[in-house]
Amino acid sequence: MPPIRSEVLELRATPDIVHVRQTVRARAAEMGFTLVDQTKLVTAASELARNAITYGGGGRVRIEALEEDTRRGLRLTFEDQGAGIANVEQALTDGYTTGNGLGLGLGGARRLVNEFSIHSRVGEGTRVTITRWM
Amino acid sequence: MTAGGGAMERIPILQMGEFLLVTIQVDLNDTLAQTLMDDLTAKVAATGARGVLIDISSVTVVDSFIGRMLNDIAATSRVLDATTVVVGMQPAVAITLVELGLSLGGVRTALNVDRGIALLRAALAAPADATHPE
Ligand SMILES: Nc1ncnc2c1ncn2[C@@H]1O[C@H](COP(=O)(O)OP(=O)(O)OP(=O)(O)O)[C@@H](O)[C@H]1O
Ligand SMILES: [Mg+2]
């Protein structure tokens, strides 16, 4: 089913992370997500936006409100054309980092949402899609 | 912040006797977080403060980056002989942090500023501190 609302935000530099958090918060609140669910989605978005900027050299996120017969949700798709991830399983492991982070972003984001998928190709970039249903 | 953006935005640090109090009321971007960390370290060193209270009751998201900042502030303050207490974490933020997998292991927490101050006073009076002549 096509999304009922869709928008794209650019991810160029770290101040854009705040913008993503605020926009996702506003959309989730408008849809009526509980405060806890809003916070989980916003936190996951913050992690993935930061990864796209830090490791992906920047990119964009598409924010889509979904409405199906029996449920509504918010889907976020983060995309970058950066170096990609050679070993996705390893990248998803808590504590694994090639930067100076805690290595929690990807694994943590996966735990904070209902659906998580990641596609990455070395030299081409990374796309992470997360969905949280109400 | 002044229009035109020339002045650097900063989070104020208040001195209350031998403690420092920081109230975070904005969505922290990375630059602001880094500035706060540097300012706090300098102020602990300059004042000889024995405790740092960070009030995050207005903070709606703590991602791995901000979590790391709180841990780093606590670790640095500890080296400078000050105890850090993070107060007022919203329940939704606390729930999300656990699922994200972030432990604020090095940081003490309290429900509100009053309890945070009580905790700092108790820490200062504790026998472990008897080695510090006052
Ligand atoms: N968009 C991306 N492009 C390329 N590599 C990535 C991307 N996202 C994550 N990675 C790789 O996966 C690793 C793990 O990412 P994750 O977000 O879990 O941890 P981190 O960013 O290193 O630390 P933290 O998120 O805890 O601050 C990263 O260190 C990086 O090597
Ligand atoms: Mg990360």
Supply the ipTM of this predicted assembly.
0.92
Phi, psi of A56 (to 5 degrees): -100, 0
Query: What CATH number has the domain bearing residue B105?
Result: 3.30.750.24
How remote is the C-alpha of B74 from its chain's centroid? 7
Residue span of the structural domain in which B53 resides: 14-126
Model confidence pLDDT, tens digit, residues B89-129: 999 999 999 999 998 888 999 999 999 999 999 988 876 55
A33 backbone dihedrals φ, ψ, rounded to 5° = -60, 145
Nearest-angstrom CA–CA distance, A83 and A85: 7
Query: A21: which 2 tokens?
Result: 């958090």
Q: What distance in Å separates residue B65's CA from the closest CA in chain A?
A: 7
Domains of chain A (ranges; CATH) run 5-133 (3.30.565.10)
> How many domains, in total, are found in chain B?
1
* pLDDT, position B131: 52
Q: What pLDDT score does B103 carry?
A: 86
Per-residue pLDDT of A25-52, as tens digits, reads 999 999 999 999 999 999 999 999 999 9
Helices B91-100, A35-54: inter-axial angle, 10-degree rounding: 50
Rounded CA separation A74/A114 (Å): 10
Distance A77 CA to ligand 1 centre (A): 16
Chain A positions touching B93 (Cβ under 8 A) are 39
Express each pLDDT in A87-127 by its tens digit: 999 999 999 999 988 899 999 999 999 999 999 999 999 99
B131 in any annotated domain: no
Query: Residues 54..93 of A with a Cβ closer than 8 Å to B: which?
Result: none
Contacts of B92 in chain A (CB under 8 A): 35-36, 38-39
Task: Calculate the average pLDDT of chain B.
Answer: 89
Instruction: Give CA–CA dist B124/B2, Å, rounded.
Output: 40
